[in-house]
Chain A
Amino acid sequence: MSDIDPEALQAHRSHLIRYAMLQLRDPNLAEDVVQETLVAAIESRAKFAAQSSPRTWLVGILKHKIIDLLRKRAREPQLNVAEGEDENELVDALFKENGHWADPPQSWNAPEQSLENAHFWKIFEQCNQRMPLNTARAFMMREFMDMTTDEICQELGISSTNCWVILHRARLALRECLDMNWFGNAR
């Protein structure tokens, strides 16, 4: 219990901000949503006792706050998934006209070890931030928030086919970025 007095909660703040920034890419929104999370955490800290780690507990609250926020924003007309993003540029660069790899993926050296390397996570975060906003958003709903594609389609108001295309594009982009910037297969 000693770990969750209001001061200790503040210590998790920067971690939560980074997490929220990955999803929202807007420092003001991230700040707001983390503030709400901390307030909710302080209000409900009596319920914390049974939890294993304060950070996991906080991230759990934050996820809900982010989903609520995205849900509200999805109803606003400006969140159009295809908008302003050149969706085919990457795919066209990766594959030849006959559908074969322009430059087939090389194997990655000891990827499991990367997971233990703090610098790898920096690069991973940067690669996520480099994706077009709405692509990254769908990808993170799927992978960080563990939402189903049906839930994501609903939240973003798009068809499931469109959703699969976006998620695939996100993985291609992330793979490419890690390949070049971490696994050292610079082209």
Chain B
Amino acid sequence: MLDCKHNTELLSQSYDRPITLRERIAMRMHLLMCRGCRNFEKQLAFLRKAARELPRKL
């Protein structure tokens, strides 16, 4: 069973490399049960979006 620390690593890596099916399933299972990681997942998406907009906002 994936813990939060490793789950956040995988969530982050999903922005940097292709994630395997097995990894994806493990993440989904964890996210179903963990509100902290669900918040983290949304926030990662927001960070990506914000960082990509930064050059236009400075």
Chain A residues close to B by CB (< 8 Å): 15, 18-19, 22, 55-56, 59, 91, 94-95, 98-101, 104-108, 111, 114-115, 118, 121, 124-125, 139-140, 142-144, 146, 149, 160, 163-165, 167-168, 171-172, 174-175, 178-179
CB neighbours (8 Å) of B36 from chain A are 101, 104-105
Do the beta carbons of B57 and A95 come within 8 Å of each other? no
What 13 additional pairs, Cβ within 8 angstroms, besides A19-B58, A121-B58? A101-B36, A104-B35, A107-B39, A108-B39, A108-B46, A111-B43, A111-B46, A121-B54, A124-B54, A164-B12, A165-B9, A171-B12, A171-B44
With A and B bound together, what is the CA distance between A91 and B54 in angstroms?
26
Assess whether B32 is interfacial by the CB under 8 Å rule: no
Within the complex, the shortest CB–CB distance from B1 to chain A, in Å, comes to 10
Q: Which residue of A lies closest to B45 (CB)?
A: A111
Q: Chain B interface (Cβ within 8 Å of chain A)? A: 3-6, 8-9, 12-13, 15-17, 34-37, 39-40, 42-44, 46-58
Q: Are B6 and A167 in contact (CB under 8 A)?
A: no
B18 to chain A, nearest CB (A): 11
Contact partners of A105 in chain B: CB under 8 A: 36-37, 39-40, 43
Q: When the two chains form their complex, are residues A15 and B48 in contact, meaning their CB atoms are under 8 A apart?
A: no
In the bound complex, CA of A186 to CA of B36 (Å)? 16
CB <8 Å contact, B12 and A100: no
- Contact A115 B53, beta carbon cutoff 8 Å: yes
- Closest residue of B by beta carbon distance from A107: B39
User: In whole Å, how far is A19's beta carbon from the nearest beta carbon of chain B?
Assistant: 6
Residues of B within 8 A of A94 (CB): 5
Let me know if B47 and A168 touch, CB within 8 A: no
